[in-house]
A = this chain, B = another copy of it.
Amino acid sequence: MILIKDGGVATPLGFQAAGINIDIKGTGSTKKDYGLLISDVPCQVSATFTKNRVKAAPVIYDMKLLDEQSDFFGIIVNSGNANACTGQIGLEDTEKICKEAENILELPDKSLLMASTGVIGVRLPIDKMLQHINELVENLDDEDSNFSESILTTDTRPKKLAVLVETDNGSFVVGGVAKGAGMIAPDMATMLAFITTDVIIDKNAQDEALLLAVENSFNSITVDGDMSTNDSVFLFSNGMSGINVSHGNNYELFKEALNFVCSELAKMIVKDGEGATKFVTITVKNAKSYDDAKKCAFKIANSPLCKTMFFGSDPNWGRLMATIGASMIEFNEDDVDIYFDNLKYVANGTLIDPDLEDKAYEIMKKSEFAITIDLKAGNFSKTVYTCDFSYDYVKINADYRT
């Protein structure tokens, strides 16, 4: 597996992308906020969506289409407006934009999907969006820096990468672009990810590979534990490499590449979390079940007490113990070991030596560190990624009409 310099969603064979500014929020912003990702030939699409009971119009639209068919040519995206809590009109707007783009691109009906992110409860500027589809199409090229910029909200930088994988039969590419769990002050934004690949793959194998990759990447990160109305991950495969990865070693190579791309994008999201100053890897080892390990790891990753403690570089193991206990999983307090990076800090539920506190403090002062909890209650482990809670998190999310 080779990392491709400046790679992204337009890197696999047959994909093009575009991103332009049309000032969707109407605030005079010059940031690119309208994008298009397209394949020369139909793609087989797998996707996962937010579990929030309140789903944005494009999510409802895409879920319905994906229930009916699995072949699409691409996706239209916008930032600055989530098209959520917009009722029937929001759905109609989504459909209008897709239909107009399908006409202009001379594609079959319902062959495009849509994803939005930004303010909730405001109707899309539909006329402006219909009017600029031509411009989007004219801007399509093999670079995806414009596309990756068009989906950003409070993100401070684009998130993209692509990898080349060699097989016995030739090579294939997996590329990806994501936007982070940030906010477009003062409104909720969301997490979006688009993965493209030029492999040939059975739909079931593709679905399975995406579910697994998402579980270990986008579903293993948290910035603030809040769930958005628009979270979506799409995987487009267009087969243009001619490499079939449905079975055997090729399937393993494909899953490995997909996991890598999703994990790297997920980590980029956390590192660019709102106000984040630290990237913290939380591993819960030897839990009684996978659910226990995951519940405990996320309880720590989402705890305001733990996250402010990360911000303050405070090796307060008591807070960790209390949070483990509050996760209500099965474990014995007197068995717990806690490591800060490779430093064993707590053994069998007790601080090994107060003198270790200074060493733990030095580890926590770094911009990246890991906390490992060994529960000694079973054989299941889970790693999640989180960031700290800083003054800037409060600032970004509290500032009214800035």
Contact = CB atoms under 8 A, between A and B. Distances in A.
14 contacts: A52-B326, A85-B349, A121-B317, A121-B321, A188-B305, A188-B322, A227-B322, A227-B325, A229-B325, A304-B389, A304-B393, A308-B393, A314-B401, A391-B394
A351 B400 contact: no
A45 to B, nearest CB: 25
Given A308-B393, A312-B186, A121 B318 contact: yes
A4 interface: no
Copies of the protein in its oligomer: 2
A200 interface: no
A313 to B, nearest CB: 6
A265 interface: no
A318 B120 contact: yes
Nearest to A316: B186
Contact of A53 (B52, B121, B187, B333): B333
Interface residues of A, number: 62
Given A54-B321, A119-B318, A226-B323, A397 B349 contact: no
A51 interface: yes
Contacts of A326: 52-54, 226-227
Interface in A313-349: 313-314, 316-319, 321-329, 331, 333-334, 349
Interface of A: 51-55, 82, 84-85, 87, 119-121, 183, 186-188, 224-229, 303-305, 308-309, 311-314, 316-319, 321-329, 331, 333-334, 349-351, 361, 389-391, 393-395, 397-401
Contacts of A389: 304, 394, 398
Contacts of A183: 305
A192 B236 CA distance: 55
A394 B322 contact: no
B350 A312 contact: no
A226 B322 contact: yes
